[in-house]
Structure 1
Amino acid sequence: MSRASSPPAGLADLDQLRQILAGIAEGVILVGARRDLLWANAAACGMHAVETPAQLGRTVAEYRRLFRLRYRNHRPLVAAQYPLQRVASGEAFADVVVDVQAQADPAMHRVHRVRGQPIVSKHGGTQVRALFITDVTDWASSEQRFEKAFGANPAPAVICRVADLRYVKVNPGFLQMTGYASEQVLGRSTYEFDVLAGAGDRDAAIARLSAWQTIPQTEAELAVADGSGKLVVVAGQPIEMAGEPCMLFTFIDLEPRRRVELALRHSEEKFAKAFAMSPVPAIVCRADSLEITDVNEAASALAGRPPDELVGRTLAALGLLGATPDRNRVAAQVGAHGRVRNAELTLALREGESVDVLVSAETVRIEGRDCVLVAYLDITHRKRRELELADAVEAIMQDASWFSRPLIERLARVRRGDAAGESAEMASLTRREGDVLALIGEGLADKAIATRLQLSPRTVRNHATSIYAKLGVRGRAEAMLWARERGMHGLTAPARKARPGRA
């Protein structure tokens, strides 16, 4: 009889035992007291990718030469740690997980969960030991995929074992978020490192953790390595690891949002202070209805009403956007472009008195709402002075025989209202550009102007280019006409000696 079918000496019921063991799903290897392999069922052979028990080896030592075993952390087993060696020594154990690889065929790789158990004969003496094997290769593969996904997941996460509430895994995202090293987290309990601290309903979350139930998302204050706290959203999902109930905690870092909210709050506080203290009349209103939500003291003074009579009413109802055509024009510009600049309006705010203003408006977001900030510049006195000046000019021009023609032309332009635009254009010129323009008005060429002002021709050309751009003229001829129409020719100072080192 072959060794695979012969009963071991001294065990009368081995045939019956073999019949029982041959049909079970678990792999079984029977080991004698002398560390010889007595028998193996077909399941055990299949789990080692062999066809007969003889291919497993005749002894434990030969099995070690044929198969290399490692723990799941890739640490190889020494001889005394081999499950067959342990069971042959009479040791009973359960749930040891090992990687098994054939020495002759590296492609043969299995993951076994094994347990050792002595078998006692009818007479009470231990004669045979049995190693029971379960192939968990598929489970190990999925576990490995989970390990890779868990480690690569950028979302911070930790895994807590429900049985003792200790952390058994932590991913790099969590370590980066908190500043801890892995050894500062692994093995600690939830009492030592509470990821649910500050949660809205912490007691309910702890109860769900103990009952291995899903923990819904909740905000919590997570302690970090530097001793400070970090605002997070934490959620718990029940999972199994190595057959044990665990809780997967995942986190969303809310600290950037908190910093933005804090910065926004500070910004709005500064805006509120600047708004209240500004000497410029300003009003904040809702973007959709232009209903006033806030006014400063200057705006209250402009409107001639206390703030509580302004807040809650619309700009149109209070006459703060002028007559209907002007109001529609300003509202259309704000709606189309989000802003309006220096729109000139006449406001009938006080009984029997009108106010001339320049209105500017800008859409802003305040406390999460779309608003419009409206600012007013009272130009009533300026308009009156302009009218008084025009009246004076008109009176003077009734007898202008003693004025020069250029001065008459200038006074006429003031009466027509052209002076403001021209003065702005003139103000944009530098003193030297004014000198160059005056000589261009006299009809001088660049070389003559350079001699007159003791400049280089290149410098004169540069000044001329700048003058054309500022006046909006297209060349020398138009600049000459511009200067002559405004009486600028012949107004330059006499030639001056050039300073040392200047062109």
Structure 2
Amino acid sequence: MSQDVLTTEANRRQLQQIIAGLSDGVILLELDQTIVWANEAALAMHGVSQVGELGANAKEYAKRFALRYRNNHPVPPENYPISRVAKGETFADVLVEVTPVDDEERMWVHNVRSMVLADSAGEAESLVLIMDDVTEWASAEQRFEKTFNANPAPAVICRLSDLRYIKVNSGFLEMTGYARDQVIGTSTYELDILDGAENRDLAIERLREHATIPQMQAELKLPEGGSKQVIVAGQPLEFNEEDCMLFSFVDMEPRHKAEVALRQSEERFAKAFRLTPVPTLVCGAQDQVVIDVNEAFLDTLAYPSEEVLGKTVAELDFIDDKGARTRLFAALEKAGSLDRVDVRIRRKDSSVIDCTVSADTVNIQDNPCYLLVLMNITERKRTELELVAAIEEVMKDASWFTRTLIEKLANVKNINSPQLPSVSFTDLTARERDVLGLICEGLADKEIAARLKLAPNTVRNHVSTVYSKLDVHSRSEAIVWARERGLFSSEWRPKGQR
């Protein structure tokens, strides 16, 4: 054995002893690509216990282990790190995923570099493959990638060394309309996400210091022209062992559009509120403090605005009946709205007008309020009362009216007297009901006496009792009372038709 061979073998044994306990995996190859040795760490990184299980050489290694790049593309066998070092190539920081062909459930991520050992004459003597197990780091990176891409909040990652974007998620692309290749590799000078930021100088200073950038409004330029209002914030992080800044965004456009629509709606409401000729008032639902009134309200009640705004409805006391005011707001609190409730309104000069009040609940600046609309019906009510008085006058003797006419007159009177007396038909005795029924048929007292075989005085007493119980004062009012309740409608016949 020559001295050179002895020296080479001695060097190898010495090298093997030195690297046997290293945490980095080391594989030694001959110049003919034969695998001659591997330390425990290298064996563990492949899930084997003996060097022979790696394969006799680079070709067999490629048959036993499948390699993929981090982008999930397969590594061609000629580009395996073990094949490249076998060709005498030196390289560093090659990231590959290693999976045994016969056990695809197992996988390691190796960061691989190579060395070519030379003899004293400078000739290549041995080939060395050095690998670092970065599986945990890669798993964390993969989890971050999945989280980043799945996050609906728009975001980009900028590398601080050259201020270029290296990651962008779908949320940012959907929000802005950019394509991925329009963002990745682009510098912050070309796509300035801090353009129009309300505190741009602070943001740039924090970016240079690799410090957190607080939330601030900004204006993003869009690829098709125009811009979008956003809130942007920056958070420093380390990605792929490089200092980076994670920018996240909140799209303010929906909120901006909602605010514009709300403002326009409020403007339309304000115009309608001011211009409507019907007296209208807005007060707080909780405290009933008057927030606003229109000109029609001030004109109708003869109040100046300074004596109305800021006062409670109770303090103004413009609803003539305090009990009616209490009932009105109690019903409004319960139902949320009211439709045409009759009230009497007292003007500042103490004169009283008749009104119907309609009300609804509205939200003004996120506060529940009541909108009250007053309709002055004083003239209408006066006319109706005069009409009712005329009707009652002519109905004092209704015996000659047709059934159709008497019912129409009863309906007209009923419109103006919606509150029916509290007495019920069942409060009458059987005989009183008979008498009322015959009154509704148009019979006089003598005819009722003959029909019921009673003395005329007895009939007159029954008629008087019926009037008293029904709170009416004439035969026509008794007939109207019965018509309003649908009594005797099938039995009633006007005179001459019985």
TM-score by structure 1 length? 0.74
Secondary structure of the 1:94 match is: coil
Partner of 2:181: 183
Shift of 1:58: 4.0
Shift of 1:384: 2.2
Q: Relative to 1, partners in 2 of residues 1:7 and 1:329: Cα closer, same or farther, differing over 3 Å?
A: farther
Shift of 1:26: 0.3
2:414 is aligned, of 413, 418, 424, to 418
Within 5 Å, which residues of 2 pair with 1:272-291? 272-291=270-289
Partner of 1:155: 153
Residues 153 and 172, structure 2, Cα contact 8 Å, conserved in 1 = yes
Residues 362 and 371, structure 2, Cα contact 8 Å, conserved in 1 = yes
2:131 is aligned, of 110, 130, 133, to 133
Secondary structure of the 1:246 match is: strand
Partner of 1:292: 290
For 1:17, give the aligned amino acid: L
Secondary structure of the 2:332 match is: helix
Q: Relative to 1, partners in 2 of residues 1:109 and 1:209: Cα closer, same or farther, differing over 3 Å?
A: same
Secondary structure of the 1:24 match is: coil
Shift of 1:472: 9.7
1:28 is aligned, of 22, 26, 29, to 26
Secondary structure of the 1:317 match is: helix
Partner of 1:463: none
| Segment of structure 1 superposing worse, 301-310 or 114-123 | 114-123
| Cα offsets for 1:203-243 (capped at 9, x unmatched) | 33344444444444444333444433333343444443332
For 1:73, give the aligned amino acid: N
| Cα offsets for 1:364-410 (capped at 9, x unmatched) | 11232222111111111122223434455566678x79x94459995
| Cα offsets for 1:235-266 (capped at 9, x unmatched) | 44444333233333333333323222222211
Partner of 2:364: 366
Residues 11 and 127, structure 1, Cα contact 8 Å, conserved in 2 = no
Q: Relative to 1, partners in 2 of residues 1:472 and 1:100: Cα closer, same or farther, differing over 3 Å?
A: farther
Shift of 1:421: 6.9
Give the gaps of 5 or more residues in structure 1. 423-440, 443-470, 491-503
Residue 258 (structure 2) pairs with residue 254 (structure 1): no
Partner of 1:310: 308
| Cα offsets for 1:402-439 (capped at 9, x unmatched) | x94459995996799436479xxxxxxxxxxxxxxxxx
Residues 303 and 348, structure 2, Cα contact 8 Å, conserved in 1 = no
Within 5 Å, which residues of 2 pair with 1:94-173? 94-119=92-117, 126-173=124-171
Shift of 1:289: 2.1
1:220 is aligned, of 218, 222, 231, to 218
Aligned partners of 2:261 and 2:408: how far apart in 1? Answer: 56
Secondary structure of the 2:82 match is: helix
Partner of 1:501: none
| Cα offsets for 1:72-92 (capped at 9, x unmatched) | 123233354222333344443
Partner of 1:384: 382
Within 5 Å, which residues of 2 pair with 1:391-430? 391-392=389-390, 404-406=400-402, 417-418=413-414, 420=416
Q: Percent identity?
A: 44
| Cα offsets for 1:155-194 (capped at 9, x unmatched) | 3333333332322233333333333322222222233223
Partner of 1:270: 268
Within 5 Å, which residues of 2 pair with 1:1-80? 10=8, 13-80=11-78
Q: Relative to 1, partners in 2 of residues 1:136 and 1:8: Cα closer, same or farther, differing over 3 Å?
A: farther
For 1:132, give the aligned amino acid: I
| Cα offsets for 1:292-325 (capped at 9, x unmatched) | 2222121111111233332222222223322311
Give the gaps of 5 or more residues in structure 2. 419-439, 442-482
Partner of 1:324: 322
Aligned partners of 1:478 and 1:160: how far apart in 2? Answer: 90
Q: Relative to 1, partners in 2 of residues 1:317 and 1:406: Cα closer, same or farther, differing over 3 Å?
A: farther
Partner of 1:81: 79
Aligned partners of 2:412 and 2:74: how far apart in 1? Answer: 102
Aligned partners of 1:274 and 1:11: how far apart in 2? Answer: 101
| Segment of structure 1 superposing worse, 358-367 or 74-83 | 74-83
For 1:170, give the aligned amino acid: V
Secondary structure of the 1:335 match is: helix
Q: Relative to 1, partners in 2 of residues 1:478 and 1:168: Cα closer, same or farther, differing over 3 Å?
A: farther
Shift of 1:99: 1.6
Residues 8 and 38, structure 1, Cα contact 8 Å, conserved in 2 = no
RMSD: 3.8
Residues 319 and 349, structure 1, Cα contact 8 Å, conserved in 2 = no
Residues 7 and 14, structure 1, Cα contact 8 Å, conserved in 2 = no
Secondary structure of the 2:386 match is: helix
Aligned partners of 2:5 and 2:207: how far apart in 1? Answer: 52
Paired residue total: 433
| Segment of structure 1 superposing worse, 230-239 or 377-386 | 230-239
Residues 359 and 372, structure 2, Cα contact 8 Å, conserved in 1 = yes
TM-score by structure 2 length? 0.74
For 1:311, give the aligned amino acid: L
For 1:114, give the aligned amino acid: V
Aligned partners of 1:8 and 1:150: how far apart in 2? Answer: 57
For 1:141, give the aligned amino acid: S
For 2:49, give the aligned amino acid: E
Q: Relative to 1, partners in 2 of residues 1:35 and 1:331: Cα closer, same or farther, differing over 3 Å?
A: same
Residues 165 and 183, structure 2, Cα contact 8 Å, conserved in 1 = yes
